[in-house]
Structure 1
């Protein structure tokens, strides 16, 4: 049996730091393969690509610093982050997104999504606010094309094989899975040295953990089963959004509506109703 669900990854990871799956149950959004998406100059795809490249450059610096400071088994905690409560997240791990997260876990998810887009404004965006909270949320609230590290993580319960999001995944692209099963033959999520790949052969989907590795573990499931997993992932994401809206009303009362709307754009779902301030 396979499971999957939405999730995000930790900041020291290659991709943005939260993942999602549901086929086993966690969902981090995969990016479209080059064959499926053509980047026109000035298009949202190109803009999102530039955004992601800037993030990768920042992640590489943090990765080197944090990896050197951490010991095996250590829990990564962002130094000095005190804008709202956050949970401890395993280093190099994923945070599954659903309606079952604790308030501190929601805080970690929002922190990571905001951090993925925390890039200095260019000429197309207004300058950062001077206050710490407004400055940190600025990218999340002003970027047209938001990104969030993660993707669809699929686990085969019968074998223990797990298909993880690659470094080119983004939670914002999770609907590419639907395009893939509706007509695509191949969907890639990364590049050397680890290249997760999804392929469709008739009514069967094969998920290769690392196409760069000979004899890589694979997961095979039917197209119908994958559709059910994606439907479950969408429910998880909707439940997470509702939870995040309630969390924002309590922890970010002055930014609740725009933060909720931004999170909804990240996962490509309609924003839930904003609860009254507590």
Structure 2
């Protein structure tokens, strides 16, 4: 189980962003180029109605636009992504309209809920006793489930979610180092905003 962010375009005018996969894994000790890519995904998706390429002069301006939108209660704090689940040869990515900020909804699975996993593809969760089954793509036309799936033992979920939180905490530290080198006057505010947006620091209570 890995936290991922959906990539924005690779054309970042403010810092170097290398071409990567569509969903960027958020690692506990990420390389600087991965931090830069994740920062661009967060900032570009989270700047509200600001046209970053047209209205913003530099990296500090881009981060300021993100921070201003983040402080606006009328702007959705949405960071497309979620939790990637892999078992054997089956990889299930978070679907469209899901956000990494929703990763803690997986805690409700421990109470027997079947949470929404996004659409296109339409991964679907099914509670099966001691196992949580995740189908890679529900057949919404035929109403049948015959495709690939991942089975997660319910008893393993607390440890998996703690590992996700450790990954996010490690990324937050790396983001701070990157921001102090790239946007030093905005570094602390950026880290605090990302921490708040992705609900990283609060304990899981498990």
The interval holding the TM-score normalised by the smaller chain is 0.7 to 0.9
Residue in structure 2 matched with residue 136 of structure 1 by the alignment:
62
Secondary structure, in 3 states, of the residue corresponding to 1:169?
A: coil
* Alpha-carbon shift at residue 261 of structure 1 (Å): 0.7
User: Match of 1:175, SS?
Assistant: helix
- In the TM superposition, residue 182 of structure 1 has moved relative to its aligned partner by 2.5
**Which residue number in structure 2 is paired with residue 45 of structure 1?**
none
* Superposed displacement of residue 217, structure 1: 1.1
Of 205, 220, 223 in structure 1, the residue corresponding to residue 154 of structure 2 is: 223
Cα separation, 2, equivalents of 1:87 and 1:100: 18
Whether contact under 8 Å (2:24, 2:38) holds in the other structure is yes
Summarize deviations over 1:28-63 as a string: whole Å, max 9, x none.
Answer: xxxxxxxxxxxxxxxxxxxxxxxxxxxxxxxxxxxx
> Structure 2 CA distance, aligned partners of 1:227 and 1:182?
12
- Counterpart of 2:131 in structure 1 is 204
Provide the residue aligned with 1:71 in structure 2.
none
Distance 1:82 1:168, change over 3 A: closer
**What is aligned with 1:174?**
103
| TM-score w.r.t. length of structure 2 | 0.82
Q: Tell me the secondary structure at the aligned position of residue 16 of structure 2.
A: coil
- For the 8 Å contact 1:172–1:266, the answer to whether it is kept is yes
Alpha-carbon distance in 2 for matches of 1:249, 1:138? 14
Q: TM-score, normalised by structure 1?
A: 0.62
Show the 5 A alignment for 1:103-252.
103-120=32-49, 131-142=57-68, 143=70, 144=73, 145-157=76-88, 160-184=89-113, 186-191=114-119, 193-212=120-139, 214=144, 215-252=146-183
**Secondary structure, counterpart of 2:81 in structure 1:** coil
1:86 Cα offset (Å): 2.2
Structure-1 separation of matches of 2:158 and 2:126: 14
Decide whether the 8 Å contact of 1:171 with 1:266 is kept in 2: no
Please state whether the residue corresponding to 2:184 is helix, strand or coil.
coil
1:48-107 per-residue CA deviation (whole Å, 9 max, x = no partner) reads xxxxxxxxxxxxxxxxxxxxxxxxxxxxx31xx3322323213xx221112321112101
The number of residues matched between the two structures is 190
- Structure 1: any 5+ residue segments left out of the alignment? 13-76, 122-128, 272-278
Tell me the CA shift for residue 139 of structure 1.
4.3
Q: Any conservation in 1 of the 2:27–2:168 contact (CA below 8 Å)?
A: yes
Bigger share in helix: 2
Relative contact order, CA 8 A, sep 6+: which one is greater? Answer: 1
Structure 1 stretches of 4+ moved >6 Å: none
